[in-house]
Chains A and B, each alone.
Chain A
Amino acid sequence: MGAVFEGKDKEMTQALQNLFWILIFPGFVFTVCLGLVASWIVRKVSSLVQWRVGPPFFQPFYDVVKLMGKEVLIPEEAQQTVFKAAPVVGLAGVLLLSTMLWRITIDPTRLFVGDIIVAIYLMVLPSLALILGSSASASPHAAVGTSREMKLVMGYELSLVLAFIVVIIKSGGQLSLAAIAQQTPVFSISGLLAFLAALLCVQAKLGFVPFDMAEAETELASGALIEYSGALLAVWKVMQAMMLVALPLFLVMVFLGGFTGALWAGIAKYVLVLVLLILIKNTNPRVRIDQAMKFFWFYCGVVLVAAVILAIIGNSYGINWL
């Protein structure tokens, strides 16, 4: 390998290294494997809660392989290009987000890879892709699912940004994720409130019960994803698995101090957030979309405004526990 690269630019090696980061190690392959394990954990813990045995360890892997081998059906009336491109767009968004988060986790001292604003933008992409793809599928069930997903995004996005504003204030106006991950704002009143609200927003972002109305199996027959089959559905499933890695990891970095301490402590924090999400999922019924919006705007919104005010007071008077 050395002989091959000898005559080439340093930039070329740099580009190959970046490609390796995105496609193999902290990026695609690694996150997909980890995400499939995480979705196994979701299914296994759910079945333990329901006093069942649950699926075998490789079940999510089998599911994806099987979907890859199935026929891809595309509805005649669908907008073909958008219908096919949407899952890939969503996957690209999550891929960038997870690569960015892992790069910062592994080597926080490196140059700029992205700050909290970039992360917030990238986190919207999967929902946006879902809205695009399902509205391109020309199915009435998908249309209802899409409208619910749109309302849900409008509902939780405000709360999520307010929760991150609390963290930014607590860290003294820092926007860089590497700097934010050095602190644990959850050990203060405002930080704890923001963490709990952000946990529920992530629940909605992952499409877990109580906020799974866009994919409602019972009345919408899997709603937004109803027309997807075969490899396209596999891409959606892989995307959702990767979100199971990226979003809890993001919460761990922003609120719980990230992987700054020992490695096992970081993994324990991630598993803690994941299990919290699973337990919320398994102990709640689905709410209606209007209840979800009311919950995010009025209840979470008020709590978060109070948290922002507490954080500002705490910051300006130097009271760390506020």
Chain B
Amino acid sequence: MSWKIWSLKKSPWVFHVNTGACNNCDIEIVDLLTPKFDVERLGIKLVGSPRHADALLVTGGVTRQAAPRLREVYRQTPKPCVVFAIGACACDKGIFTTGYHMVGPVDKIIKEIDPNAIIAYVPGCPPKPEAIISGVVTALSVL
């Protein structure tokens, strides 16, 4: 394992991207940062700029308006980076499968610009904070 991946696992800084979520998954992500779950003990930190990020936490099924923004945010993130599709919508459009305004899901949009992108899925509506932590840890351990 190269030192780049080793250190990436030790300190994954995450950037939160909302691509048309109902705000439920976002609340669960904010929950992660509360003292109860305290993800800083795993080195996870929420950062304000995609340029500082190692992982994108994407919520929502990607609306037509959000798709170009999601691509742009992915391009702005320095590689190596991991994309997490958080929630049923981000994984497979969820209850919005037949929605006229949905162009997602997340993996399709990301793979349009980078076929080799590393994408991890955390299903649930919304996923519990424990599920998100478990998903992040599992994804990082197979990296």
Contacts and interface: CB of A to CB of B under 8 A. Distances in A.
A31 B48 CA distance: 28
A235 B4 CA distance: 17
B35 A70 contact: no
Report, as a range, how many residues of chain A touch the other chain: 20 to 34
B38 interface: yes
Given A55-B41, A221-B49, A62 B35 contact: no
A228 B49 CA distance: 9
Interface stretch (A5-13, A44-52, A105-113): A44-52
Interface in A208-262: 217-218, 220-222, 225-230, 233
Nearest to A228: B51
Nearest to B43: A59
Contacts of A50: 35
Interface in A65-93: 65-66, 68-73
A56 interface: yes
A73 B78 contact: yes
A222 B45 CA distance: 13
B78 A229 contact: yes
B54 interface: yes
B52 A54 contact: no
A142 to B, nearest CB: 10
B43 A229 contact: no
B40 interface: yes
Interface in B37-66: 38, 40-41, 43, 47-49, 51-52, 54
22 contacts: A52-B38, A53-B38, A53-B40, A54-B38, A55-B43, A56-B43, A59-B10, A59-B11, A62-B10, A65-B7, A66-B4, A66-B10, A69-B2, A69-B4, A69-B7, A71-B78, A71-B80, A73-B76, A221-B49, A222-B49, A226-B49, A233-B52
Given A43-B40, A66-B8, 4 more contacts: A66-B54, A69-B3, A220-B48, A222-B47
Interface of B: 2-4, 7-8, 10-11, 13, 35, 38, 40-41, 43, 47-49, 51-52, 54, 76, 78-80
